[in-house]
């Protein structure tokens, strides 16, 4: 077995990973996290029946579902990935009897803060230790401009946040954080505002909110970097969630790094605001066969990726690609260690306020295994030494961050024979990728 998992305990789960000889097979990665959250949120406020297939049954998305169940929405679970929601509609959501706990999920808590700002009633939103240290001012400040009544620690900068639904006025807001969470929080508040609300984007961020809202009858206009939403009721819809390209990214990397590999990933979301990782790999010389599925046209596009081993060359990642590859930077840094030359990733300061400080976590993990890295306030540079580079095993801390844990598990498959890497804090992989060790071992062989 390449990856041995141990759950729980003082270390919050560990992976011990050894070298893989070959990588092969055909898999469908789990459902998209961003789209699963939104499918439940829009289904939870759309009057009537919403059917969701391909739902990601991860800790993060289950937390969003639980929040709606405590506000009067009912769910019929046909399978872990297939559910039917019945909602009384946005204005009729009830007051939950207790805190809404969103665990590790920044997406859930920020979108829900926006949404609930305009819904009558009182709600308190919180999360785990990581989420309680992440910045919330980026949503509470624009929502305050709309008239939202929100209080929280450090004057509304940190969870828990207490939200009392209020009458909201429309605003036009510049999305200077380049954050899809901020954009979506404001657009969701806009559903209850007294007129059209606009978010202006210099660089486009993931556009799942804009694509999905019209499926529920919402009025949205996207033009020249401006997204406008009109207030109004939503109605139940049927949503098919594609596989998550951010989860697929770890398997793409696994195949690119293993000589002789043959791996097929099916049903993978190919929304152009999410595929910069593939574009960057193209710049680095990877030959990835991308076959879009015609069934995805008009909604959320998806398709099949066929992967094999490829030698990579270093690159300077274009700044404009960073927002659309932000979740893939940890695994990109791993790939860069096996490219020839120095890869520089800048303009990615947002990584410091993700589930962990991902710049510092990756710099320290890569140094532990013998990769030369330079750290910047807004990124890192990685010295690549080609596919046969030397590495050493040891122990690294994922800082309770799912993407750090999975990225380093992929790296460990290239350790010298006889060495192993112990990764701690791996229980948090459940937040986005339940079943990761099983799929990993299904395609990576001794
Ligand atoms: C997400 C947006 C991104 C991303 C996160 C999911 C979303 O965060 O990192 O994993 O679903 O809107 P930011 O909006 O903070 O960049």
The residues that are catalytic are 327
Claim to verify: residue 247 and residue 234 sit in the same structural domain: no
Express each pLDDT in 66-98 by its tens digit: 999 999 999 999 999 999 999 999 999 999 999
Express each pLDDT in 315-351 by its tens digit: 999 999 999 999 999 999 999 999 999 999 999 999 9
**Signed CA dihedral, 119, 122, 127, 130: sign only:** positive
Q: What is the pLDDT of residue 317?
A: 98
**Nearest CA, atom 4, ligand 1:** 327
Claim to verify: residue 163 and residue 281 sit in the same structural domain: no
Q: What is the pLDDT of residue 298?
A: 75
Give the confidence band of 357 by pLDDT, cuts at 50, 70, 90.
very high
CA atoms of 361 and 369, how far apart (whole Å): 13
Express each pLDDT in 196-247 by its tens digit: 999 999 999 999 999 999 999 999 999 999 999 999 999 999 999 999 999 9
Claim to verify: residue 99 and residue 222 sit in the same structural domain: yes
DSSP-based three-state secondary structure for 190? helix
Which CATH number characterizes residue 195's domain? 3.65.10.10
Claim to verify: residue 59 and residue 19 sit in the same structural domain: no
Express each pLDDT in 385-437 by its tens digit: 999 999 999 999 999 999 999 999 999 999 999 999 999 999 999 999 999 99
pLDDT at 1 over 90: yes
Last residue of a domain, one of 205, 240, 275: 240
Express each pLDDT in 256-309 by its tens digit: 999 999 999 999 999 999 999 999 999 999 989 999 999 888 789 999 999 999
Token pair, residue 338, equals 């096996």
Claim to verify: residue 235 and residue 325 sit in the same structural domain: no
Claim to verify: residue 108 and residue 48 sit in the same structural domain: yes
Q: What is the pLDDT of residue 318?
A: 97
Asked whether 403 lines ligand 1 (CB < 6 A), one says no
Claim to verify: residue 283 and residue 145 sit in the same structural domain: no
Q: Which domain holds residue 302?
A: 3-29+243-445
Residue 318: other Cβ atoms inside 10 A: 14
Asked whether 431 lines ligand 1 (CB < 6 A), one says no
Say how many Å lie between the CA of residue 340 and the centre of ligand 1.
30
Average pLDDT of the residues of the chain: 97
Last residue of a domain, one of 240, 263, 293: 240
Last residue of a domain, one of 223, 240, 257: 240
As for how many domains the chain has, the answer is 2
Q: What is the pLDDT of residue 2?
A: 98
pLDDT at 48 over 80: yes
CA atoms of 213 and 224, how far apart (whole Å): 19
Token pair, residue 342, equals 């120095």
DSSP lists the bridge partners of residue 132 as none
Claim to verify: residue 210 and residue 353 sit in the same structural domain: no
Say how many Å lie between the CA of residue 414 and the centre of ligand 1.
30
Residue 209 backbone phi and psi in degrees, to 5? -60, -45
Claim to verify: residue 336 and residue 353 sit in the same structural domain: yes
pTM (2 d.p.):
0.98
């Amino acid at each position: 077995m390449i990856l041995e998992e141990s759950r729980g305990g003082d270390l919050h789960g560990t992976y011990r990973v050894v070298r893989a000889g070959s990588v092969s097979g055909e898999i469908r990665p789990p459902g998209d996290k961003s789209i699963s959250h939104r499918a439940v949120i829009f289904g939870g406020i759309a009057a009537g029946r919403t059917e969701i297939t391909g739902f990601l049954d991860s800790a993060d998305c289950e937390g969003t579902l639980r929040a709606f169940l405590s506000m009067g929405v009912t769910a019929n679970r046909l399978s872990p990935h297939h559910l039917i929601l019945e909602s009384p509609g946005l204005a009729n959501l009830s007051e939950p009897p207790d805190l809404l706990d969103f665990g590790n999920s920044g997406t859930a808590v920020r979108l829900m803060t926006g949404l609930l700002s305009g819904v009558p009633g009182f709600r308190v939103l919180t999360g785990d230790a990581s989420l309680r240290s992440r910045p919330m001012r980026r949503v509470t400040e624009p929502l305050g401009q709309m008239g939202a009544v929100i209080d929280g620690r450090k004057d509304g900068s940190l969870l828990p946040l207490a939200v009392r639904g209020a009458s909201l006025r429309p605003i036009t807001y510049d999305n200077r954080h380049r954050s899809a969470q901020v954009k979506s929080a404001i657009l969701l508040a806009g559903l209850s505002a007294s007129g059209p609300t606009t978010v202006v984007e210099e660089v486009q961020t993931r556009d799942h909110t804009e694509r999905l809202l019209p499926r529920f009858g919402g009025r949205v206009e996207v033009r020249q970097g401006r997204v406008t939403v009109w207030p109004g009721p939503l109605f139940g819809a049927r949503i098919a969630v594609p596989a998550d390209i951010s989860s697929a990214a770890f398997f793409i990397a696994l195949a690119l790094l293993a000589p002789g590999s043959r791996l097929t990933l099916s049903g993978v979301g190919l929304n152009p605001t999410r595929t910069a990782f593939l574009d960057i790999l193209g710049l680095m010389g990877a030959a990835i066969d991308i076959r879009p599925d015609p069934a995805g046209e008009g909604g959320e596009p998806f398709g099949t990726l066929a992967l094999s081993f490829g030698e990579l060359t270093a690159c300077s990642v274009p700044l404009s690609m960073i927002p659309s590859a932000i979740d893939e930077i940890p695994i990109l840094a791993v790939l860069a260690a096996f490219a020839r030359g120095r890869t520089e990733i800048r303009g990615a300061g947002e990584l410091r306020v993700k589930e962990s400080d991902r710049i510092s976590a990756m710099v320290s993990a890569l140094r532990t295994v013998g990769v030369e890295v330079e750290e910047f306030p807004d990124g890192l540079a990685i010295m690549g030494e080609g596919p046969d580079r030397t590495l050493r095993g040891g122990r690294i801390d994922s800082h309770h961050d799912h993407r750090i844990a999975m990225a380093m598990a992929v790296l460990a498959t290239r350790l010298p024979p006889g060495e192993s890497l112990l990764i701690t804090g791996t229980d948090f992989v459940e937040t986005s990728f339940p079943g990761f060790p099983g799929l990993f071992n299904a395609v990576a062989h001794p």
